[in-house]
């Protein structure tokens, strides 16, 4: 039988957390949307967060759901910029979901959303084109964490076997953690759970809340990484590669299983040397359990925003095969992807013969051509 939400985590500890501002995030307004004022705990969290961002204008909009907050911009680029300056506090009633990938190699997986989107400004952001974000691309914190974890518990007990729940599909998994301290509830929840396991994906440099927790190996932490040149060109307002590595190292020392996701690999000029040096450095400094490689996989809506940010002759657009593949996403041509993967695989294997290697959102034929058929379905989102 599922425990009531208040027993899943300690609401006293949740309320007692003192928010810190998140690096690179300074919202000019905080919208208190639907569900942000309906329990004492949510009102408490709202007060604490507003206190941490005293310079932001607070707008009460209790009747509006999190995904309908009107930013009063019709231009997609201005809308996106306004969204990154707007923090929405709300509830999310369907925050635990099963993915619905078809016609590519990805296994479907469970994911959950205590946050929506993130404060970062990646020019390739695939979320820009998704249904839930298109109208209102704000940065969201969902205040109903006890209910979200209760639902994870319910699903996990029904499944009855070790199952990964992914935090990082529709958001950055850790970027807002200094504000909420949610990791201090989420990681102990998974540590104590008989079958639910956490996989989390981030670009964050801030692991301050995680290091002293007793995670019992039930939380896998993954960082998205790329060479510095790619980060500088395509990942505005994100932590540097060095800062990400410096976050991975103490997390590894604290015993967390650590993974890396090299995605999207962007073959800019000189990519062979850049990726070789970057991977050699990464693998020599961080003990990785698994590394997942992935290319650009973009929907038209997201690509339009990418081109507004970078211009139409940017290194992604000029190399992209505009004919979308069977899953609706556009990618680089097969031969280029294969060439790039082969180069990266050689470097990884030279440096570490044992690290597991996966490919993200690829076609089964790509696994065959790289002689990686046995690796299919062993990627970042799953155990
Ligand atoms: S970190 Fe992820 S969600 Fe955030 S802007 Fe970059 S790609 Fe988008």
pLDDT per residue over 103-148, tens digit each?
777 889 999 999 999 999 999 998 987 877 889 999 999 999 999 9
Q: What phi, psi does 66 have (nearest 5°)?
A: -55, -30
Tell me what pLDDT residue 310 has.
Answer: 97
Distance between CA atoms of 242 and 277, rounded to whole angstroms?
13
Ligand 1 midpoint to CA 124 (Å): 8
Among residues 189, 81, 100, which one has the least CA distance to residue 139?
A: 81
The whole-angstrom distance between residue 187's C-alpha and the CA centroid of its chain comes to 16
pLDDT at 102 exceeding the cut of 80: no
Give nearest CA residue, ligand 1 atom 8: 125
User: Average pLDDT of 178-189?
Assistant: 98
Which DSSP letter does residue 66 get? G
Ligand 1 binding residues, C-beta < 6 A? 117-118, 120, 122, 125, 127, 172, 203
Ligand 1 midpoint to CA 85 (Å): 15
Distance between CA atoms of 246 and 329, rounded to whole angstroms?
33
Residue 235 CA, closest ligand 1 atom number: 6
Distance between CA atoms of 337 and 317, rounded to whole angstroms?
15
Distance between CA atoms of 230 and 223, rounded to whole angstroms?
15
First-to-last alpha carbon distance for the chain, in angstroms, is 25
Instruction: Read off the tokens for 210.
Output: 């995680």
Among residues 250, 247, 248, which one has the least CA distance to residue 206?
A: 247
Q: Pick from 120, 222, 301 the residue to mutate for probing ligand 1's pocket: most ligand atoms within 8 Å of its CB.
A: 120
Ligand 1 midpoint to CA 234 (Å): 11
Ligand 1 midpoint to CA 236 (Å): 10
User: Average pLDDT of 182-211?
Assistant: 98
Of 3-12, 55-64, 98-107, 292-301, the range with the highest mean pLDDT is: 55-64
Ligand 1 midpoint to CA 175 (Å): 10
- Please report which residue ranges of 200-260 form alpha helices under DSSP H: 228-234, 241-253
- Which residues pair with residue 57 across a beta bridge? 29
Per-position b or e across 271-297, b if 16+ CB within 10 A of its CB: beebbbebbeebbeebebbbbbbbbbb
Length, in residues, of the chain = 383
User: Average pLDDT of 10-34?
Assistant: 97
Which residues lie below 8 Å from residue 1, measured CB to CB, with a gap of 6+? Answer: none
Say what percent of the chain tops pLDDT 70.
Answer: 98
pLDDT at 81 exceeding the cut of 50: yes
Residue 128 CA, closest ligand 1 atom number: 8
User: Average pLDDT of 39-51?
Assistant: 98
**Is the pTM here over 0.85, yes or no?**
yes
Which residues lie below 8 Å from residue 233, measured CB to CB, with a gap of 6+? Answer: 266, 268, 315
Residue 121 CA, closest ligand 1 atom number: 5
Q: For residue 260, say if its preceding peptide bond is cis, omega within 30 degrees of 0.
A: no
pLDDT greater at residue 107 or residue 18: 18
Tell me what pLDDT residue 323 has.
Answer: 76
pLDDT at 8 exceeding the cut of 90: no
The whole-angstrom distance between residue 265's C-alpha and the CA centroid of its chain comes to 16
User: Average pLDDT of 228-233?
Assistant: 98
Q: Pick from 117, 119, 201, 360 the residue to mutate for probing ligand 1's pocket: most ligand atoms within 8 Å of its CB.
A: 117
User: Average pLDDT of 316-340?
Assistant: 89
Helix/strand/coil percent split, the chain, to 5 = 40, 20, 45
pLDDT at 58 exceeding the cut of 60: yes
Residue 120 CA, closest ligand 1 atom number: 5
Among residues 209, 221, 241, 205, which one has the least CA distance to residue 167?
A: 221
Look at residue 81 and give its three-state secondary structure: helix
Distance between CA atoms of 123 and 146, rounded to whole angstroms?
33
Strands (E), the chain: 29-32, 57-60, 86-90, 96-98, 110-112, 115-116, 121-122, 139-142, 163-167, 196-202, 219-224, 235-236, 258-262, 290-294, 356-360
pLDDT at 225 exceeding the cut of 60: yes
Q: Pick from 24, 25, 121, 122 the residue to mutate for probing ligand 1's pocket: most ligand atoms within 8 Å of its CB.
A: 122
Confidence class for position 226, pLDDT limits 50, 70, 90: very high
Tell me what pLDDT residue 179 has.
Answer: 98
Ligand 1 midpoint to CA 169 (Å): 9
Residue 119 CA, closest ligand 1 atom number: 4
pLDDT tens sequence across 259-311 = 999 999 999 999 999 999 999 999 999 999 999 999 999 888 899 999 999 99
pLDDT at 34 exceeding the cut of 70: yes
Tell me what pLDDT residue 4 has.
Answer: 57
Confidence class for position 1, pLDDT limits 50, 70, 90: very low
Q: Domains for the chain: give ranges and CATH numbers.
A: 5-375 (3.80.30.30)
Q: Which of 130-139, 178-187, 197-206, 339-348 has the lowest mean pLDDT?
A: 130-139
User: Average pLDDT of 206-230?
Assistant: 98
User: Average pLDDT of 51-74?
Assistant: 97
Distance between CA atoms of 258 and 223, rounded to whole angstroms?
8
């Amino acid at each position: 039988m599922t425990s009531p939400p208040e027993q899943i985590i300690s609401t006293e500890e949740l309320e007692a957390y003192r928010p810190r501002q998140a690096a690179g995030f300074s919202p000019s307004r905080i919208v208190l949307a639907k569900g942000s004022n309906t329990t004492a705990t949510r009102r408490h969290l709202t007060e604490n967060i507003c206190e941490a961002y005293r310079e932001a204008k607070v707008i009460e909009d209790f009747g509006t759901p999190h995904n309908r907050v009107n930013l009063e911009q019709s231009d997609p680029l201005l809308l996106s910029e306004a969204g990154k300056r707007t923090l929405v506090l709300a509830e999310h009633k369907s925050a635990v979901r099963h993915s619905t990938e078809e016609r590519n190699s990805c296994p479907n997986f469970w994911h959950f959303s205590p946050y929506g989107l993130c404060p970062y400004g990646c020019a390739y952001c695939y979320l820009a084109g998704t249904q839930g974000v298109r109208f209102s691309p704000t940065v969201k914190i969902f205040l109903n964490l006890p209910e979200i974890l209760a639902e994870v518990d319910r699903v996990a007990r029904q499944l009855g076997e070790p199952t990964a729940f992914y935090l990082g599909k529709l958001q950055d998994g850790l970027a807002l953690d200094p504000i909420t301290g949610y990791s201090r509830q989420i990681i102990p929840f998974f540590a104590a759970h008989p079958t639910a396991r956490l996989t989390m994906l981030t670009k964050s440099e801030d692991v301050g809340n995680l290091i002293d927790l007793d995670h019992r190996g039930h939380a896998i932490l993954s960082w998205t990484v790329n060479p510095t040149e790619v980060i500088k060109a395509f990942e505005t307002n994100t932590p540097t590669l060095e800062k990400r590595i410096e976050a991975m190292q103490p997390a590894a020392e604290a015993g967390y299983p650590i993974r890396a996701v090299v995605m999207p690999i962007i073959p800019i000029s000189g990519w062979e040397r850049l990726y070789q040096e970057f991977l050699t450095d990464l693998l020599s400094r961080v003990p990785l359990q698994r590394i997942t490689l992935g290319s650009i996989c973009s929907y038209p809506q997201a690509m339009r925003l990418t081109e507004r940010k970078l211009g139409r002759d940017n290194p992604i657009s000029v190399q992209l095969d505009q004919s979308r593949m069977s899953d609706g996403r556009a990618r680089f041509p097969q031969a280029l992807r294969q060439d790039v993967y082969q180069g990266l695989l050689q470097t990884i294997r030279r440096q570490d013969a044992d690290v597991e290697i996966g490919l993200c959102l690829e076609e089964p034929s790509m696994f065959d051509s790289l002689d990686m058929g046995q690796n299919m379905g062993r990627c970042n989102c799953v155990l």
